[in-house]
Structure formats: structure tokens, C-alpha cells
Amino acid sequence: MVSDFPLFPKAVSTVAPKIDQLYFFLVGISSVMIILIFTLIFYFAIKYRRTADNQVPVEYEAYVWMEWLWIIVPSGIFMVIFVWGAWIYFQVSRPPADAMEVYVTAKQWMWKFQHLEGQSEINHLHVPVGRNVRLIMASEDTIHSFFVPEFRVHTDVLPHRYTINWFNARKTGIYNLFCSEYCGTDHSAMIGKVTVMEPNEFESWLAGGKSSGAPAVEGKKLFEKFACNTCHTNDSTARGPVLMGLYGSPVSFNNGQTTTADENYIRESIVNPQSKVVTGFEPIMPTFQGQLNEAQVMQLVAYIKSMKVQPPAMAPGGATTPAVPNTNPAVRPGSPSSMR
């Protein structure tokens, strides 16, 4: 048991050593201050103790340099901590563009992982070593928290929205996954594993694993089942906005606000379409709140993300042909299938 839960878990991810350095710096500063303060307390208590019943305390004039020292030194230390912490936060909160994506659904009391290739897992996540992995997480019920101590990955998983985190594991092995937010009676049983594999072993596992259908493929089926394609076409004169190339693009609304179309915006547009109405369109889209579970919403989001406009192809003679939409949601730019 001691080896499974050490006081200081190994730093396995690329960001873990940076977090540890800041942590130990905070522990060191706190330790120095505790020792200094208590040493002075005992020293002053002995040196300036009352030796006679009629002794009158002596008044001392404050030293200006001491006041300035007490202001400047702590302020400098706090600024170092703030800048250092902000620098790490920006690295943690901005996943690399080339990261492989895994959808994570938390539910009392289990973790469900969905790979873009179709493989799904319960309470066990397989990832390749040395690869950036982006987690897109949501909860079906209450607040959970995704925590892998060795990766220093710790993110709340919330209902009704996505939270994002990422990691890059540097060593192969099996690591513990916990829910660190009290979520109900069996909260302590909501545990899992993360297996970090060599890239070739991961590809073999991915090819031979149980597949429930690629999220984008299943999302296309839902898109057609609920007749979303009757309003959302590739024609700008349609009743709904064009979804081709939507993900990652700026979007403006009738109220004058703008945003970038990320997973949370797409999800909100599905379950609460009246909250943000795209410029030039009427609020006629019905809500699908209650008609879709979290897994189905995730599949629709994955399908809309896959609707990318492919770059113009080079024709013979150096001319370019018009850009062609990527209509195959199972083929992602950069994937082996898209390069054939």
C-alpha cells in the first residue's frame, strides 16, 4: 500500500516537474517564515520579559528602513510566486494544437473514456507515451474531479459544460486515477487507471480494442435523425448557420457580442440555442435539452468539429481547384486515413 500511495508521487508528465518546483519553493518559503517567526517570538519573549512587578515598558521609535524592508521583500516574493504560477497555469490551460483528443464523461460512480477512433473504456484509459493528450470532460450528474497524481492533472468535471485539460506522459506504466471531489455515497469507489503504452503497442491496442463507433460517425447519424441537416446546410441562405468549418472560427451574435466556436459553444448551441443567436438568423432552433444524454451531445460536438473545409487541391499546371468540404467525419486531417 505504501508503494501505491507515496507521500510524493513520481513526476511522470512533462508539466509535473514545473509544478513540483513551484510547490517546493512555496514549502521552502513557508518553512523559513515559520522558523523565523517562532524563533523571534521565543527570543523576544525571553529578552523582553518583565523582571520586576513595577517595571515600565520602554518605548522604541520605529525604524523607517525596517518598515520599507517589510513591505518590499514580501511584495517581491509574492510577485515571484504570482508570475511563476501564472506561467505554469498558461501552459496547463493551453493544450498543444497537435494533441490527440479523448472525451471523458463522469457519472456516479464511474469514468467513461471515448477515443475519436471509436474505442470506449470504463475506468481505464490507454494513452501512448510521449504524446500530448487533450481531455474534453463533462459530468452527467454532479461535480466530479479528474485527478492523476503522477501527472499533476487535477481538473473539476462539471455538468452542463466542458472542462479541458491535457498531459504528456513521459514514462510507460499504470497510474492511479481518482475522483477528488466528494460526489456521493460511493465517491471513494470512483477510481480508475491510466495505462501509458509505447506508441506501437498503443496502435495495436487501438486497432484491436472494442469499438462502439467513432463519435463523429455516430454524431452524423444523430444529426440526420433529428433532421438538423434540413436547416444547417452548406448554403449561406439556409435557415441555420453554416457548420462547415465552424469549429475554431469567430462567431458574432445579434446582441453584438462575439466568441470563438469551441466545444462549449457548440454544446450550448445544441442544448440551449436561444442563449446566443448568430447574426442574421432568427431564434427558431428548438432546444434538445433532455432529448440527448451527455454521450450523444458529445457525439454531435465531435461531428460538427469534424466538418472542416479542406484546403484547395493543386491541379495540373499549378492551378488550384476549389476547396472541398470534408464530408467524411471518420477521416480527420493528419490521420492516416486522410493521407491515403
Mean pLDDT over all residues of the chain?
85
Check residue 285 and give its pLDDT: 87
Phi first, then psi, for residue 100 (nearest 5°) are: -75, 145
Q: Given a cut of 80, is residue 108 above it in pLDDT?
A: yes
Provide the pLDDT confidence category of residue 57 given band limits of 50, 70 and 90.
confident
Residue pair 144/190 in contact by the 8 Å Cβ criterion: yes
Query: In the predicted model, what is the mean pLDDT of residues 119-139?
Result: 94
Cell 495495436: give the residue.
204
CATH number for the domain running over 1-47+95-212: 2.60.40.420
Strand spans (E) along the chain: 100-107, 110-115, 120-122, 124-128, 132-139, 144-148, 153-157, 163-168, 173-179, 191-197, 250-252, 258-260
Check residue 6 and give its pLDDT: 66
- Please give the class, per CATH, of domain 215-309: mainly alpha
Could you give the count of Cα atoms lying within 13 Å of 53 in the half-sphere of its Cβ? Answer: 0
pLDDT digits (tens, 9 = 90+) for 137-147: 999 999 999 99
pLDDT digits (tens, 9 = 90+) for 238-285: 788 888 888 989 999 888 899 999 999 999 989 888 888 898 888 888
Residue pair 223/303 in contact by the 8 Å Cβ criterion: yes
Check residue 317 and give its pLDDT: 53
Check residue 309 and give its pLDDT: 67
Task: Determine what percent of the chain is predicted with pLDDT higher than 90.
Answer: 51
Cell 483528443: give the residue.
101
Check residue 236 and give its pLDDT: 67
Between residues 294 and 339, which one has the greater pLDDT? Answer: 294
Check residue 3 and give its pLDDT: 46
pTM: 0.79
Question: Where in the chain are all domains bearing CATH 1.10.760.10?
Answer: 215-309
Q: Given a cut of 80, is residue 32 above it in pLDDT?
A: yes
Q: CA of 249: how far to CAs of 115, 259, 292, in Å? A: 24, 8, 25
Question: Where in the chain are all domains bearing CATH 2.60.40.420?
Answer: 1-47+95-212
Rg (CA), the chain: 27
Check residue 52 and give its pLDDT: 80
218 burial type by CB count under 10 A (0-12 exposed, 13-18 middle, 19+ buried): buried
